[in-house]
């Protein structure tokens, strides 16, 4: 037998054992026998390196660590699931489905455990694992292909036995760390004096976020696959068929998945899983019920972020008791005073809980929570723990009812609680807690995404008086930043570049960044869909106009109207625009455009255009306008009198355009 055949045979044997082990859950050789096969393969490959292929089972660990993760845009968005908190809500879901399908027969469902790990997408092209990503915001996730390759239950090559392999298979699943592996990992970390992970999900997430794949490879991670993304080359009539195909291809599918019919079986499955929860080797935080027939799914369709054809049944949260040692008051970026209970540390479903939010005075009054009380606390998923009730029998003598302070704990200014509102707010718009908070929100990742402008720097900038409103960020100079305490020249340059890059902002990000109450990322995107890049039309929108938009309710509409009624908010936005911020929208950007992703710098004086107009033109074509030349610059547009920037562009061999060249490029191109 020649070496190539020998290698092929070994690979197939190993892949077959993987299938028995990870999919059938029924290994037919011992771990040490398996290790021997793998070692033989590695040995043969090391002697015949030209025969190594990327999908060989020996090639799981990447060569050099990477420096950062790229992103992957999901071909189809990764939706999330609506939650049912009680059996009644599960029954109501079945009722809605019935009604939606206009069908008297009970529809078939597939019931699945809801794994408490990290949602990922795997992409196979012609059966070869080519890319994998996190769920991210549902549209775009991090490219974690190299780390996913190290997970031994993820086949690098699909099994081609019973069912034809599709040309493209995008499959979604959950990466998890089992409870035992998690415990062992934490024990090892503790013995090395390293910080421990709070729960298996965090440990799995942390493991996938390693830049060095050999670290990920050493972590006990597994996967269960449960949904389809884009599939080309094969279609399915039911979810059952899809799941069997996954198994035949060698992808692990949870063995507890079951077909159920009718509300009674739904509730019974949910209760059974909840009862078994602690015995499972991995964490689950609920159940998922999905319509089995794909045709039925299509009929019901989707809401904006979750399908109508599926629901997650959440388990009851886990509870524990502790003592309230203190109540502290935090001031948020909108001035809201939030009381937080400090607790004696206590473990709740694997996490040490040290505090719980108390929301507001009403909530404290309702539950009559006092310092010194013994309380029942509850942790629901990743939500901040909350106090369910005070255990009155254990109340110490001499406690007093708790009252929020009348003055702001940060600036001392008076606190005001509007009629009918639960939240008390510090009225001082220049309260340091609010200024810093607003700016931190404005520059954060989901908002303007100004890298390098972190909490510490924001504090410095506010305290030194350089910024008191967000528009001042765009007036900062290199000298301003470089002049701060402990600021290196290089970092200052990077921050300036990040600020400049952020000036070409999407409508939705900019609106989200403003921190209008009740206008989160999602609503901001809804607004962008309607207003495109027309900020003015949004600013002057009437209440009726806003409420007519799908998904904008009276509360958000009201918050928007009140926000723009405030003259200072309008002037801050105008100042941003005056200082170079350019608003664009997904619709106004021709994504496929010639200039998509390119970076332009304008220098010298332009004759036919203002610099602002020129910047707007490139942004509309999907490019960026930046003010400083770097190796990332694609084009320098040099007007008359161009000086040092042009020189720098020449040094970096960047394409230099005259104003006429530029106009030809943007108009003709």
Q: How many residues does the chain have?
A: 669
Q: How far apart, in whole angstroms, are the C-alpha atoms of residue 392 and residue 370? A: 10
In DSSP terms, 312 is beta-bridged to 83, 288
> Is the Cβ of residue 244 or residue 459 nearer to ligand IVH in the bound state?
244
Selected binder of ligand IVH within 93, 226, 249, 602 (CB under 6 A) = 226
Owner of token pair 């900062």? 476
Q: Applying CB under 6 A, what is the total number of residues that bind ligand IVH?
A: 15
**201 is a contact residue toward ligand IVH (CB under 6 A):** no
Cβ at position 174, least distance to ligand IVH in Å: 5
Among the residues of 225-348, which ranges form H helices? Answer: 239-248, 262-276, 294-300
> Is the Cβ of residue 85 or residue 218 nearer to ligand IVH in the bound state?
85
Q: How far is CA 157 from the centre of its chain?
A: 28
Cβ at position 240, least distance to ligand IVH in Å: 14
* Close Cβ partners of 568 (under 8 Å, ≥ 6 residues apart): 429, 469
Nearest to 51 by CA among 10, 13, 17, 15: 10
Nearest to 647 by CA among 629, 635, 660: 629
Q: How far apart, in whole angstroms, are the C-alpha atoms of residue 483 and residue 335? A: 30
Catalytic annotation, pick one of 114, 247, 436, 503: 114
Cβ at position 487, least distance to ligand IVH in Å: 40
**230 is a contact residue toward ligand IVH (CB under 6 A):** no
Q: How far apart, in whole angstroms, are the C-alpha atoms of residue 165 and residue 249? A: 8
Cβ at position 513, least distance to ligand IVH in Å: 26
Residue 114 appears among annotated catalytic residues: yes
**297 is a contact residue toward ligand IVH (CB under 6 A):** no
Q: How far apart, in whole angstroms, are the C-alpha atoms of residue 161 and residue 165? A: 9
Distances from the Cα of 231 to the Cα of 81, 165, 310, angstroms: 21, 10, 20
**310 is a contact residue toward ligand IVH (CB under 6 A):** yes
Q: For helices 432-443 and 455-463, what crossing angle results, to 10°?
A: 130
CB of 273 within 8 A of CB of 287?
A: yes
Q: How far apart, in whole angstroms, are the C-alpha atoms of residue 379 and residue 284? A: 14
Selected binder of ligand IVH within 10, 72, 203, 288 (CB under 6 A) = 288
Cβ at position 284, least distance to ligand IVH in Å: 8
Q: Which of residues 161-180 bind ligand IVH (CB under 6 A)?
A: 174
Selected binder of ligand IVH within 132, 200, 307, 515 (CB under 6 A) = 307
Instruction: Give the range of 52-60, 66-74, 75-83, 140-148 binding ligand IVH by CB under 6 A.
Output: 75-83
Residue nearest to ligand IVH (CB): 119
**252 is a contact residue toward ligand IVH (CB under 6 A):** no
Q: Which of residues 80-99 bind ligand IVH (CB under 6 A)?
A: 80-81
Q: SS3 for 115?
A: strand
Instruction: Give the range of 39-47, 180-188, 304-312, 436-444 binding ligand IVH by CB under 6 A.
Output: 304-312
Backbone dihedral angles phi then psi of residue 663, each to the nearest 5 degrees: -65, -40
Selected binder of ligand IVH within 115, 148, 324, 343 (CB under 6 A) = 115
Cβ at position 524, least distance to ligand IVH in Å: 21
Q: Which of residues 410-439 bind ligand IVH (CB under 6 A)?
A: none
Binding site residues, ligand IVH, CB under 6 A: 79-81, 112, 114-115, 119, 135, 174, 226-227, 288, 307, 310, 312
Catalytic residues: 114
């Amino acid at each position: 037998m020649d070496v190539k055949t020998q290698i092929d045979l070994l690979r197939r044997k190993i892949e077959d054992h993987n299938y028995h082990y990870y999919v059938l859950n029924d290994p037919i050789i011992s771990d040490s026998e398996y290790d021997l096969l793998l070692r033989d393969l590695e040995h043969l490959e090391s002697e015949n390196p030209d025969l190594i292929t990327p999908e060989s089972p020996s090639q799981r660990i990447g060569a050099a660590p990477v420096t950062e993760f790229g992103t992957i845009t999901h071909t189809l968005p990764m939706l999330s699931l609506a939650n049912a908190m009680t059996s009644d809500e599960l029954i109501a879901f079945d009722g809605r489905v019935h009604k939606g399908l206009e069908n008297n027969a009970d529809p078939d469902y597939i019931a699945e455990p809801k794994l408490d790990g990290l949602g990922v997408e795997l992409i196979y092209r012609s059966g070869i694992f080519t890319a994998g990503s996190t769920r991210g915001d549902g549209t775009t996730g991090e490219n974690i292909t190299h780390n996913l390759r190290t997970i031994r239950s993820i086949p690098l090559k699909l099994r081609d036995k019973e069912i034809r392999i599709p040309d493209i298979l995008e499959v979604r699943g959950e990466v998890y760390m089992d409870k035992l592996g998690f415990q062992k990992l934490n024990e090892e970390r503790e013995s090395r004096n390293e910080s421990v992970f709070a729960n298996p999900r965090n440990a799995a997430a942390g493991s996938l976020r390693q830049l060095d794949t050999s670290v990920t490879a050493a972590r006990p991670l597994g996967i269960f696959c449960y949904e389809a993304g884009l599939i080309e080359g094969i279609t399915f009539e039911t979810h059952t068929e899809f799941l069997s195909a996954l198994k035949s291809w060698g992808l692990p599918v949870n063995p507890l998945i079951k077909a159920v019919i009718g509300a009674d079986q739904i509730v019974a499955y949910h209760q059974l899983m909840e009862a078994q929860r602690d015995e499972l080797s991995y964490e689950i935080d609920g159940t998922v019920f999905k319509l089995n027939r794909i045709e039925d799914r299509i009929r019901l369709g989707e809401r904006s972020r979750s399908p109508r054809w599926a629901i997650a049944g959440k388990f009851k949260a886990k509870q524990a008791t502790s003592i309230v040692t203190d109540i502290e008051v935090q001031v948020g970026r909108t001035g809201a005073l939030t009381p937080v209970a400090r607790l004696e540390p206590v473990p709740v479903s694997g996490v040490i809980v040290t505090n719980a939010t108390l929301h507001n005075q009403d909530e404290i009054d309702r539950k009559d929570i006092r310092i010194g009380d013994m309380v029942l606390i509850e942790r629901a998923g990743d939500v901040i723990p909350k106090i369910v009730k005070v255990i009155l029998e254990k109340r110490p003598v001499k406690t007093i009812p708790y009252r929020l302070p009348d003055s702001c704990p940060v600036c001392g200014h008076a606190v005001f609680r509007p009629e009918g509102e639960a939240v008390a707010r510090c009225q001082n718009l220049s309260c340091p807690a609010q200024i810093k908070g607003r700016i931190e929100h404005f520059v954060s990742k989901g908002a303007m995404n100004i890298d390098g402008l972190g909490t510490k720097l924001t504090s410095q900038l506010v305290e030194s008086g350089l910024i008191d409103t967000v528009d001042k960020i765009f007036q900062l100079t290199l000298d301003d930043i470089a002049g701060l305490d402990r600021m290196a020249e290089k970092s200052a340059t990077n921050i300036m570049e990040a600020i400049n890059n952020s000036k070409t902002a999407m409508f939705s990000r900019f609106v989200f960044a403003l921190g209008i109450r009740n206008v989160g990322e999602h609503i901001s995107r809804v607004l962008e869909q309607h207003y495109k890049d027309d900020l003015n039309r949004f600013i002057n929108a009437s209440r009726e106009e806003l409420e007519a938009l799908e998904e904008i309710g009276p509360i958000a509409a009201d918050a928007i109207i009140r926000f723009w009624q405030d003259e200072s908010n309008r002037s801050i936005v105008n100042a941003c625009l005056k200082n170079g911020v350019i608003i664009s929208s997904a619709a106004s950007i021709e994504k496929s455009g010639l200039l998509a992703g390119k970076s332009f710098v304008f220098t010298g004086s332009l004759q036919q255009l203002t610099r602002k107009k020129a910047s707007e033109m490139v942004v509309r074509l999907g490019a960026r306008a930046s003010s400083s030349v770097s190796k990332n610059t694609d084009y320098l547009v040099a007007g008359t009198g161009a000086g040092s920037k042009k020189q720098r562009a020449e040094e970096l061999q960047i394409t230099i355009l005259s104003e006429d060249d530029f106009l030809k490029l943007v108009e003709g191109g």
